[in-house]
Amino acid sequence: MKIEEIIIKGVKEAVSSLYGVELEDKTIQIQKTRREFEGDLTVVVFPFLRFSKKSPEDTANQLGEYLNKNIEQISAFNVVKGFLNLSISKAYWINILNEAINKENYGFVEATDESKSIMIEYSSPNTNKPLHLGHIRNNLLGYSVAQILKANGHKVIMVNLVNDRGIHICKSMLAWEKFGNGETPESTGIKGDHLVGKYYVKFDQEYKKEVESLKAQGVDADKAKAEASLLIEAQEMLRKWEAGDEAVVQLWKTMNSWVLKGFETTYKKMGISFDKIYFESETYKKGKEIVLKGLDEGVLYKKDEGSVWANLESDGLDHKLLLRKDGTSVYMTQDIGTAWQRFTEYNIDDHLYVVGNEQNYHFQVLALILGKLGYKWSDRINHLSYGMVELPEGKMKSREGTVVDADDLMAEMVKTAKETSEELGKLDDYSEEEANQVFEKIAMGALKYFILKVDPKKNMMFNPKESIDFNGNTGPFIQYTYARIQSVLNKSKDAGIEIGTKANTELNIAEKESYLLQMIANYPNIVAEAGKDTSPALISNFVYDLVKEYNQFYHEFPIAKEEDTQLREFRLILSKQIGMIIKSGMSLLGIDVVDRM
């Protein structure tokens, strides 16, 4: 039983014995004691004053005396106004260490047959451009949340939906057809997704020129945008694609294959994966079928010009387009078909979409429409809405070619990691191959940690230079601390010091050591909370706090050189367990640690 549960049980017994009142667990508030006060855990006494009819101090003292007498794990107490600060015995905390060091995957929950099944969709790239910095946050967040949910005992299915059809895809296809002169990734040496992205930008450039030309001829701006020949051709290409035109479909297959091959390379570099990849080109037809069925049943309606809509006014929203007047589908239609396919295939308990906050309305509407269409699982659709990533220079725009390319960014991160490491002389004794592997781990650790330490709901500013720093709240600082711990353990072994698996519970340990033990005890709670909130930031910041505390301990106390053999053994076990938690926590973020730096 956790110490918090023991205290809650004790407080209930105390209040019943002292004041004749039976409390519910939720009325008892327990907090970590603020570090400027003596104690480990604090009970808030104010809710009990109406039962005790005494002052906060007197009530706290009465409860403290009862708990100190009846709970063996409590070694002392003190009262600060209406707060009862409890000191937990050092033996209790050392026992926590002894349990943790002998437990594989400490802090994690094993999945069972009754475990909740959760599908998590992330990445969702378009096959008209390469992945960029915004996609990096999406991928890293989705992958990390999946690992955290697994650590909480859930059965997790990681999926990707590739947006491989639609007007935006046709724009890059049309631009390549008009301006590409038959160039390919092989003929140019350009990565496939980059090559196709080049023509998405080209379409926008040529389209804008045409719009400006029409406006110069006196055409209204909105009319010019709608009637530009390039846009009309792209719309016609989409209509032909949906009609199965052989030439259009073949061009689509060719250019999509270039992009998908490029994505595979980027995903591998990023260190993420999926259990299944869906393609909108395969799911949109089911969406159209479901929409037409809803139209027949009177759930949806058709306008005179032929487009199909959902009326959401009764839900406080507007009308939502589901099929255009030419019969082509929109994103919402595709998502309806994809959701149906997934719930039919897997019978999942929950579906979590990792998508930026600009799509909040979209997922609200998706769940509403599916509910109106009679799908009972519509209330199991959830949206992990995250904030945008910006750079010191401002926002990125794909059409204008001002995005930060994911491949370029990762390459630059590796270059910076190499330069920084060499400046500090961190890897002087490594072979070139070993050093390059470490540079990769440092670079990706820096990138992932910098992004994941921010609350997903918040917008964030990404500064590559700040992320690679061996001091402060960064991935490399945490990786370096892990390597420092491994160095301590390896040197101890080389010196013939056996590192045990059970520390003496009677040791008189320092407050700093006690606090580290409390952090070890709290790790399972952090993993659970991160799963509940779907927030890798909770893991990131816990690991950083743990590393910060350990480094202070490392500088203040001898470890392998401690003369008291039992105390030395305790500190080595403590160091080993903290190293294991660092590795465990970083793995939940998709980050590799480094044994030597």
Residue 400: predicted pLDDT: 47
Q: Are strands 30-32 and 41-44 parallel, antiparallel or unpaired?
A: antiparallel
CATH 3.30.1360.70 applies to domain 3-88? yes
Q: How many CB atoms lie within 10 A of CB 301?
A: 13
Residue 498: predicted pLDDT: 87
Q: Are strands 83-88 and 350-356 parallel, antiparallel or unpaired?
A: unpaired
Domain 122-390 fold is Rossmann fold (3.40.50)
Q: Which residue has the tokens 């809509």?
A: 309
- DSSP category for residue 309: E
CA–CA gap between residue 173 and residue 474 (Å, rounded): 42
Three-class secondary structure of residue 238 per DSSP: helix
Which tens digit of pLDDT belongs to each residue from 45-72? Answer: 999 999 999 999 999 999 999 999 999 9
Q: State which amino acid sits at residue 529.
A: E
CA–CA gap between residue 64 and residue 76 (Å, rounded): 8
Q: How many CB atoms lie within 10 A of CB 275?
A: 12
Q: Are 505 and 98 in contact (CB under 8 A)?
A: yes
| Residue 562 CA: distances (Å) to CA of 30, 359, 554 | 36, 57, 12
Residue 461: predicted pLDDT: 87
Q: Are 596 and 483 in contact (CB under 8 A)?
A: yes
Question: Residue 161: what are its φ and ψ, rounded to 5°?
Answer: -110, 110
Residues ≥6 apart with Cβ < 8 Å to 360: 383, 385
Q: Is 514 exposed, middle or buried (0-12, 13-18, 19+ CB in 10 A)?
A: middle
| Residue 191 CA: distances (Å) to CA of 188, 255, 258, 264, 493 | 9, 12, 8, 11, 48
Q: Are 458 and 150 in contact (CB under 8 A)?
A: no
Q: How far is CA 250 from the centre of its chain?
A: 37
Three-class secondary structure of residue 521 per DSSP: helix
What are the structural domain ranges in the chain?
A: 3-88, 122-390, 413-588
Residue 279: predicted pLDDT: 95
Low-confidence residues of the chain, pLDDT below 50? 396-401
Mean pLDDT value across the chain? 93
Burial 41-68 (b: 16+ CB within 10 A, else e): bbbbbeebeeebebebeebbbbbbebbb
CATH 1.10.730.10 applies to domain 413-588? yes
Q: Are 336 and 287 in contact (CB under 8 A)?
A: yes
- DSSP category for residue 378: G
Q: Is the dihedral of CA 443, 448, 454, 457 positive or negative?
A: positive
CA–CA gap between residue 295 and residue 450 (Å, rounded): 48
Residues ≥6 apart with Cβ < 8 Å to 483: 593, 594, 595, 596, 597
- DSSP category for residue 321: E
Is this structure's pTM higher than 0.85? yes
Q: Are 97 and 328 in contact (CB under 8 A)?
A: no
